[in-house]
Amino acid sequence: MDGRIEKGTVMTIPNDPAFKPRLRPLEAFELPDEEEMNIGLRDRGGLSTVMLSVSGPVLNLLAMMDGETSVASIRRKFADTFGQEVPEEALHSLLTHLDEAHFLESPSFDRYYQQLQEEY
């Protein structure tokens, strides 16, 4: 067991500072916006049909989601680099959104991929 809590058929990301999130291969591209720079993210392989829009600072958080860096280390490195704390709840919410979009390597992505294979 990896510490995730199952609710029905949806897995939730553990609210655990030791959790080490790993992003799946994503494509990042600039989204036109006159007021601020936003980055679009989508699944490079096209398995997930979701596209997310994130800010530059969030992109820096995502760059640390390599499966080897814990949530606590991500928060600490971000604060050390940018001088701004990332609230634990905000990072947990981001991880949950990423998991729901099937952008994280996780049991919920594995189930989603299995379902895609069965439907094919």
pLDDT tens, 22-50? Answer: 999 999 999 987 677 799 999 999 999 99
Q: Find where tokens 């609230």 sit.
A: 87
29 beta partners: 40
Question: What are the tokens at 4?
Answer: 């995730």
Q: What is the pLDDT of residues 6-25, one digit of tens each?
A: 444 455 688 889 999 999 99
Domain boundaries, the chain: 19-119
In this prediction, what percent of the chain has a pLDDT beyond 70? 89
Q: Is 41 exposed, middle or buried (0-12, 13-18, 19+ CB in 10 A)?
A: buried
pTM over 0.75: yes
Q: Is 46 exposed, middle or buried (0-12, 13-18, 19+ CB in 10 A)?
A: exposed
Calpha distance 71→24 (Å, rounded): 17
Indicate the average pLDDT of the chain: 88
Cβ(5)–Cβ(19) below 8 Å: no
Candidate CATH numbers 1.20.140, 3.30.200, 3.90.930, 3.40.50; the one for domain 19-119: 3.90.930
DSSP E strands: which ranges in the chain? 5-7, 10-12, 26-31, 38-43, 51-55
Q: What are phi and psi for residue 105, nearest 5 degrees?
A: -70, 115
What's the confidence (pLDDT) of residue 11? 52
Question: What are the tokens at 104?
Answer: 């994280």
